[in-house]
């Protein structure tokens, strides 16, 4: 249930309303938007009626939310969420985040050299897998904590905030200390214990869409994280499994405007894991910008042929630079900007 508050309501009257709602046993999600303040009730609202709140003179309207996601719902918060990643980088509204890097972190020198090139080309964050969810147990599984240390060296050198995938709760504290954004991979989108644990942190989370998940299931996973108190969720569309075999997955470009209609959370697009082949990355990245995405995540490797994972879908640094030059033109049309790095640590 949400309550629209009249524009001329005083702060003390709003506070009284909020404390009465809390006394009735609900948690409150308050959103002070540009157009109005919205009070969202979290809990079992079947026990209350709209009239219980319409009687307050500051209340403009009371509405029940039919969808199962509440905190992630656009009706709970009308303005786009803007999530602060650190070092000057934000994602959401007009802030467009460009996250690039190798599928897996391989070694210190190549990671630092690549990070410098990515930053020069226009990326404002660095991705790299240290714990890898591989289809085969015999494939390279990632460097583990050593990989996170290497990413931190690259961050020291460039200021680029770092994004890396966490696969289970046992390394959660390490990730909270060592990365700027915790990525939850497609295969873990519905690992509810993991999502609940993330809800107890205040780290930005990249929540990748499960390969067979509906948009509603994806938003419910975001809701799990937000229900615990962590509102810093970024949705990542990375392709879904369809009957088509020409590409690794099918990029659901429609998910961008659908998710933005349903939710205030930022949504970024990962064309690399959607396409699974290099030649499609530029066209899909451009399509994502024009569909209104709030960012891109792109795999880049100095020598894709010899990458330890996902080389077939990695761009070279030169190809990434060429793509970014076009992306920046498109972003101007869309009224979005890639924040510059302000190195603070």
**Alpha carbons 323 and 18: distance in angstroms, whole number:** 49
Cα separation, 47 vs 66, whole angstroms: 15
Q: How far is CA 284 from CA 68, 113, 210, in A?
A: 31, 26, 19
The contact mask relative to ligand PEP for 225-264 (x = CB under 6 A, - = no) is -------------x--------------------------
Rounded least distance, CB 60 to Mn ion, Å: 48
Structure tokens at 14: 């709003």
Among 117, 155, 273, 336, binds ligand PEP (CB under 6 A): 273
334 in Cβ contact with 290 (< 8 Å): yes
* Rounded Cα distance, 310 and 331, in Å: 28
Nearer to ligand PEP, 58 or 267 (CB): 267
Max alpha carbon distance in the chain (Å)?
Answer: 68
- Exactly one of 101, 102, 122, 129 binds ligand PEP (CB under 6 A); which one? 129
| Residue 270 within binding range of Mn ion, rule CB under 5 A | no
Task: Select from 56-64, 184-192, 258-266, 275-283 the region that touches ligand PEP (CB under 6 A).
Answer: 184-192
* Distance of closest approach, residue 272 Cβ to ligand PEP, in angstroms: 8
Q: Could you say which of 61, 133, 168, 257 contacts ligand PEP (CB under 6 A)?
A: 133
Structure tokens belonging to residue 93: 């509204």
Q: Which stretch binds Mn ion (CB under 5 A): 78-86, 102-110, 113-121, 167-175?
A: 102-110
Measured at CB, which residue is nearest to Mn ion?
103
Query: Nearest-CA neighbor of 112 among 175, 156, 66, 81?
Result: 156
- Residue 74 binding target from ligand PEP, Mn ion, none, CB below 5 to 8 Å by type: none
Rg over alpha carbons for the chain, rounded to the nearest Å, is 21
């Amino acid at each position: 249930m949400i309550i629209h508050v009249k524009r001329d309501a005083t702060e003390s009257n709003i506070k009284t309303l909020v404390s009465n709602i809390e006394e009735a046993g609900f948690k409150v999600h308050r959103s002070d938007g540009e157009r109005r303040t919205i009070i969202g009730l979290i809990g079992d609202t079947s026990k209350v009626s709209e009239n219980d709140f319409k009687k307050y003179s500051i209340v403009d309207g009371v509405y029940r939310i039919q969808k199962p996601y509440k905190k992630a719902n656009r009706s709970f918060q009308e303005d786009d969420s803007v999530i602060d990643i650190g070092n000057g980088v934000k994602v959401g509204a007009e802030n467009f985040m460009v996250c690039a890097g190798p599928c897996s972190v391989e070694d210190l020198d190549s990671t630092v050299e690549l990070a410098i090139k990515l930053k020069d080309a226009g990326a404002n964050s660095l991705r790299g897998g240290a714990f890898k969810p591989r289809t085969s147990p015999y494939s390279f599984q990632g460097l583990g904590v050593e990989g996170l240390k290497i990413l931190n060296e690259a961050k020291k050198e460039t200021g680029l905030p770092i994004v890396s995938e966490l696969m289970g709760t046992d390394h959660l504290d390490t990730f909270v200390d060592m990365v700027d954004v915790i990525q939850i991979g497609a295969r873990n989108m519905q690992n509810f214990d993991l999502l609940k644990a993330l809800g107890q942190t205040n780290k930005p989370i990249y929540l990748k869409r499960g390969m067979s998940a509906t948009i509603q299931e994806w938003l419910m996973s975001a809701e799990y994280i937000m229900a615990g108190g962590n509102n810093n969720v970024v949705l990542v569309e990375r392709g879904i499994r369809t009957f088509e075999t020409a590409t690794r997955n099918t990029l659901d470009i429609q998910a961008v405007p659908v998710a933005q209609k349903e939710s205030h959370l930022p949504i970024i697009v990962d064309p690399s894991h959607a396409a699974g082949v290099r030649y499609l990355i530029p066209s899909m990245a451009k399509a994502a910008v024009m569909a209104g995405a709030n960012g891109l995540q792109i795999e880049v490797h100095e020598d894709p042929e010899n990458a330890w994972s996902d080389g077939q879908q990695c761009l070279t640094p030169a190809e990434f630079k060429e793509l970014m030059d076009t992306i920046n033109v498109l972003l101007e049309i869309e009224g979005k900007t890639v924040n510059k790095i302000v190195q603070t640590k």
